[in-house]
Chains A and B, each alone.
Chain A
Amino acid sequence: MRIVKYILVSIFETLLRFFPMPCKTGLREFGNPGPDSPVFLTCNYHLTVERVKRALKGMDCYLLVANSRGINVWCGAAGGHLNNHRVVSVLKTSGIEERVNHRSVILPQLAGPGVEPRAVRKKAGWSIIWGPVYAKDIPAFMEKKGEKNQEMRGVKFPPLQRIEMAVMWAFPLSVTAGLLTSLFWPRMNLSLNVFIWVFSFFVFLAFPLYSKWLLWRKFEFLRVSAFLWGTFLVGLLVYSVLLHSFDGKFWLWWGVVSLLVICLLSVDLAGSTPVYKSGLHEDRFFKVVLDKNKCRAAGCCEQVCPRNCFEVDRSHHTARMPRASQCVQCGACIVQCPFDALWFENQKGEKISPETIRKFKLNLMGQRALGMD
């Protein structure tokens, strides 16, 4: 029964993936926790909490749900909703301090862009341990006594998640399209909806096949939309040839409507994946720069980078960025570096300092509120 409910909830919330889905904040218990049991923390996005709950089943532990305004961990942290204050607040007001003897809390690694262990320690006296990126790795993480391998540290974009993204786009689009067609072109209702769903699945399932050639290059938007539109038009041509019908009106309608849908889909295709940086962010032309003179090989960057860009060379007391090209500009490494050895810099030499990145988060339009004027 529980599993059925979980599946239904997952489907429902995947359909509404675009929207935040807040759930109750505060302390939850699993199994029979005692004063030495581990303490986990996550955001209050309902689906995330459900997933963490599943991962913690069978353990004796505590879970703190912090207020991220119903937004998932990564977006919440990068957008300033899951921040130091929210973590400090749940640590201090939930009553966990009376329950356990220790003062360490395990956070999802993707909270890295928003939560600073130093600030949390200073304000609340708790130390933060960076757990795995995905909740399902928690049992393995605990078994290895907090050791994380590269695998657990990286974000992935596996088929299941791609399907989620396809649904996340298709559902609101098809609802809108359904409403519009019912009003103006009732006959096209069904076919347009079929098109939206099939095409969204195509875009995301075929993602690995074309992404290398299209994303994060010049004129990304044009490339992506031209590719997708081209693909669709070829499909339409095949269809027309098979049916021997070349109706001008039919072509016009589908040409325009598909172009609209495709433009919407490709505005920020990169940004809806965890493995490419968003094309909308103000910081997109900036790169992470590492100052080897300041770096003392503390290794925080390596621990939080969800793209495994870093390697710490302990014998030379410095970090290196052998996989810098994989960076998605989440900013986690910059926020975490205790020696301010990292920052964003663009080709013109303009910098975004660690201080700015810690203080001002990205808003929905991908802008950092730099200064106040």
Chain B
Amino acid sequence: MSSVILMKVLESSPKRYDRGMKILFFGNLDQIYDRLISDIQKGQKVLDIGCGTGALILKAAQRGAQVKGIDINAQMLEVAKEKAEQWGLEQMTEFQEKGVSELDKEEEASYDAVTSGLCFSELSEDEIRYALRHIKRILKKDGLLLIADEVRPQNILRKIIHWLIKIPLWIVTYIGTQTSTRAVRNLPDKIKQTGFLIERMRFNSIRDFMELKARNRKDKAE
């Protein structure tokens, strides 16, 4: 499932993106995202960071949450808006062309949950630090941070398997789009250091994909 790289090919053409993701994740992504947002309830306010074509955030809207998706790619957002319209979710959804560096414009303690699917792996170290700090600020007390993303396996054997799958994909992507990504390093640690309480972590078998649920503890000393 270590295919974040191939996603680059898809991202360069948002129209193909959704179909490509289905193939890449053998249709599992749907399940993963369903599980990830299973704690979100009707009427809650949710922010999705790097929403892309809306795969994750529209699920939250279907559960009755009031959602906002931000992404820096205008074309992906067009697709997301179109889908929201088709599914009759316009009332529940809002999309803005914004990057994580504009999270400082969001109001303090205003969200019940912040979600992000496959976006942290595209951020720089500086951006991750900045994003986590502001996510903590804009989440309500006991609000949830829900992330699904590529991570780096720790175990040496898994590392080898990970790279065996990854290198051919790297080459394909390099030729196709001349870009590449790297999986996030030590994301759980960074989340803990920011002052979140990690409640659940779930890995795939090669341990290069992670689902994470963390809670914002405002009162607790960091």
Interface on A for B, CB 8 Å cutoff? Answer: 19-20, 22, 25-26, 67, 69-71, 81, 83, 85-86, 88-95, 123-124, 359-360, 363-364, 369, 372
Contacts of A93 in B (CB 8 A): 100-101, 124, 126-127, 129-130
Contacts A89-B100, A89-B124, A92-B104 known; 9 new A-B pairs at CB < 8 A: A19-B178, A22-B180, A69-B178, A69-B180, A81-B179, A83-B72, A91-B101, A92-B102, A93-B129
Q: Is the CB of A372 within 8 A of B15?
A: yes
Q: Which residue of chain B is the closest to A363 with respect to CB atoms?
A: B12
Residues of B with Cβ closer than 8 Å to A? 12-15, 72, 74-75, 78-79, 82, 99-102, 104, 124-127, 129-130, 174, 177-180
B174 near A25: Cβ-Cβ < 8 Å: no
A273 to chain B, nearest CB (A): 19
A85-B101, A93-B126 as given contacts; A360 in contact with B75, CB under 8 Å: yes
Closest Cβ of chain B to A341, distance in Å, is 23
| Residues in B neighbouring A19, C-beta threshold 8 A | 174, 178
CB–CB A372/B75 < 8 A: yes
A123-B102 in contact (CB<8A): yes
A26-B124, A372-B79 known; A88+B177 contact, CB < 8 A? no
CA distance A20 to B174 in the complex (A): 8
Cβ A369 vs Cβ B75 within 8 A: yes
A20 touching B99, Cβ below 8 Å? no
Q: Is the CB of B178 within 8 A of A20?
A: yes
Known A26-B125, A92-B101; contact A20-B74, beta-carbon cutoff 8 A: no
B126 touches A88 (CB 8 A): no
Q: Is the interface of A mostly helix, strand, loop or mixed?
A: loop
What is the CA–CA distance of A221 and B102 in the complex, to the nearest angstrom? Answer: 46
A26-B124, A360-B74, A372-B75 in contact; A88/B99 too (CB < 8 A)?
yes
Q: Is the CB of A90 within 8 A of B99?
A: no
Q: Would A70 and B179 be within 8 Å (CB), given that A26-B125, A85-B72, A93-B126 are in contact?
A: yes
With contacts A360-B75, A372-B75, A372-B79 taken as known, whether A89 is within 8 angstroms of B178 at the C-beta atoms is no
In the bound complex, residues from chain B placing their C-beta under 8 Å from that of A94 are: 126
A123: chain B residues within 8 A (beta carbon): 102
> Is A95 touching B82 in the complex (CB atoms < 8 A)?
no
State A48–B14 Cα separation when bound (angstroms): 29
B124 to A25, Cβ gap below 8 A?
Answer: yes
A88 to B127, CA, bound (A): 11
Residue of B nearest to A87 (CB): B101
In the A-B complex, list the 5 residue pairs whose CB atoms are closest, starting with the nearest: A89-B101, A85-B72, A93-B130, A93-B126, A92-B101
- A67 to B182 Cα, complex, angstroms: 13
Chain A residue nearest to B71 in the complex (CB):
A85
Rounded to whole angstroms, the CA-CA distance of A51 and B99 in the bound complex is 29
- Whole-angstrom distance between the alpha carbons of A93 and B13 in the complex? 28
Indicate if the CB atoms of B78 and A372 lie closer than 8 Å.
yes
CB-CB < 8 A to A25: which residues of B? 124, 126
The residue from B101, B104, B126, B179 contacting A26, defined by CB atoms under 8 A apart = B126
Question: Which A residues are CB-close (under 8 A) to B125?
Answer: 26
Task: Collect the chain B residues with CB atoms within 8 Å of residue A91's CB.
Answer: 101
The answer to whether A89 and B75 have CB atoms under 8 Å apart is no
A-B contact pairs, 30 of them (CB 8 A): A19-B178, A20-B179, A20-B180, A22-B180, A26-B124, A67-B124, A69-B178, A71-B178, A71-B179, A85-B72, A88-B99, A88-B101, A89-B99, A89-B101, A89-B124, A89-B127, A92-B102, A93-B130, A95-B126, A123-B102, A124-B101, A359-B74, A360-B75, A369-B13, A369-B14, A372-B14, A372-B15, A372-B78, A372-B79, A372-B82
